[in-house]
Structure 1
Amino acid sequence: MKKISAVLLVLVLVGSVAFAGFTGEAEANFGIDFDSQQYGFENVVELTSDLVFFEKLVDNAGDGDIYAEIKAELTLAFDFEDQANENDAFADGEIVSNAEITSAKIIGDDWYVGILGAMGAPNFASSAIDIDTTADEDALDLEPADYVVEGAGVEVGYAGYVFGVAAPRDATNDIDAETYNLFGSVTTPEYELGDGLALSFGAAGMLKDTDKAASFSMKGAYTMDDITANIESDLVYDDGLEVEVAVNTVIDIVTLDVYFATLDDAASAAYDDGTENILSAKAAFAIDQFDIEVTGKDLLNASILGASVDFAATEEISVNVNGGYTLMGVNEQAWYVGGGATYTAEKYVASAEATYASDETLEVEASVESDVIVDGATLSLTYASDDIMTLGGSLIAAVNIAF
């Protein structure tokens, strides 16, 4: 009763509820595992909610040649993800709120002073190839702000330039103790140098009585006829020089990405922390009905090579062939080859794929799926085995209804 009262109280206080962020699905499937010999039904219910009960946005600005502006937001929401049926999310404390001042500035003609904090060290480059798959799946990125750390301060903008100035009022800045902690940063507008070339820059520096660090960032873009090229780079000095460069080039039907970093992102687990000199490259080609991609990751260390070809044979049939090779050590290597096909008919989609690896395993998966036979439901039949030569795999028939 108390839980129900709490819910009603929230709804009364809010006044209205937005239902658009509530999704869910129910599934019943019957399957058999040919290895464990287990068979039977499984009922799966999954609910996700991101309901915003109440949102208040504030945008208040003065008048005159020089004026103050402040923006803020207040949000009250009900948030959970991938929960089972009949989950009492209120008992789990899933009512969430956020109150935040998003902008506070004094603004003049082509200048401003932001009082929420200093702009951090600029970060231009990141990998378009290497992904941290074990954590947040963000791109591999050597972030200058991890080394050149800002503190409390202000942000100043003038004629397209942005400056950050920081000096936190704490024990790190003490006249009697002779300690100091100063920080500065800058980004420039884009300089048009003619002939399709544009450059912009960024820099930051931190000076403490116990430490010092600096960074420099640059990005450039070049466009001419069927050629576009972009280069982004971050340099960090903190008891040694670290460099990160990302290049993207498009020449007619070819897209080329290259990434180099002297050190991996310490916050990333895509590589073992401390891996040095990461070089990766990816080339993609679009030729008529073919999409071809060739990838080489961490070429100076693990040498993770891969290739994939997609072929649209007809409007209904598409085929994929792929393979890869990894050099793990002097006498260690691993490889795989695979392929698959998809057939899209009027009332169903059928697909099959197989991968054979150097450990002498053959992974297979085949499925047929339709969301047309029964309006509002998806019917599927799937067979999968991690190694069809030694394992029987599993066969699952399922019906899924979602909203």
Structure 2
Amino acid sequence: MGFDFTSRWDRRLHPAKKWTRYASDVLPLWVADSDFAVAPVIAKALEERVSEHPLFGYTAPPKALMDSLCHWSRDHYQWSIEPSWQQWLAGVVPALHVASLALTAPGDELLTVTPIYPPFLDVGKHTGRNTLTVPMLPPTEEVPRWHLDREAFEDTVTPRTRMLLWCHPHNPTGRVFDREELEWLADFVERHDLLVCSDELHCDLIVEEGGRHIPLASLNARIAQRTITLWAATKTFNIAGLTTACAVISDPHLRQRFRDGCEGLMPSHNVLGLIATEAAYREGNGWREAMIEVFRENMALLGRYIERWPGVSWVPQQATFLSWLDCREAGLGDNPQQAILGKARVGLSDGADFGWPGFVRINLGAPTAVINEALERMDTLLAHHA
């Protein structure tokens, strides 16, 4: 069946964070939610729940939901997980904080890479831990993709480092790390006796033809017993406001420690979020695949514009609907995000928030006509500087 990825919804009608941050003349392409109505199967499941059983008290994840994630994991990633491994909770960012509080001690160190999704950089500050960062290596002719600086990892880790905050597929660069890289990382984690909190939220948004996501915990039993895998349908199916995610933890001792840490810090489960997530995993794959084709079209459009913009470079992402642009040579001054906002009236994410000033992140999760309008606005600015 056909799906609607062209309608332009007025998202200020019901205030949306994405569309209310800036003035009404700004096209906002920053925070990672999309401007597509949810899959019809999700809308139908929510409508049926609201009309047939209009009670929304405290709840627990139903067996059907947990089974749906098990089937999705097996079918898409050949990773067999169990319902008992699942801890459903109210979002990935809260889970990062719970992991830090429950599994490390004050003064311990957290390790992550940059650029990185900004909340990663706040976890240590919010939980009384120290954050160590390892810059990724940007693309070169020899290695034409963002990649890990393995020497810097070894130089940065210390005996006080307790946990790696990992993002895979990577936000903001869109890297899908391959098996060799992941095996090196798993060995590094084991040698330094670290735990891993692995945000794999964008795993269902592989846009590279033939690309494949490999869950870190699926590599072997040793890394699995150290890993908390964070998963959600929220970005893929545009249900972030329903605040539902899952921590998949195979090791029973680690799982219990994490569950204990959730007590008193996590709110009760979101009734409608659980319903929407189950519908997404059970019946939403066709919609997901159609949306990915829209993302590919939007990426191709962006690539054609970037060819017109000397001083702007990128590596097309392998996953996510987020593109990471290097604007350091574009003649936009110290803050390209502010220049583009002020002169082109397009709201992007500032690379400085990810630890890399001079870059911007653009959200391609919108109808192609919207993306084209935003790129036309940016073109008048960037072509002038060119």
TM-score over 0.5 for the pair:
no
Q: Which has more helix, going by share of residues?
A: 2
Which structure has the larger Rg?
A: 1
TM-score, length of structure 2 as denominator length = 0.22
TM-score, length of structure 1 as denominator length = 0.21
Q: Which has more strand, going by share of residues?
A: 1
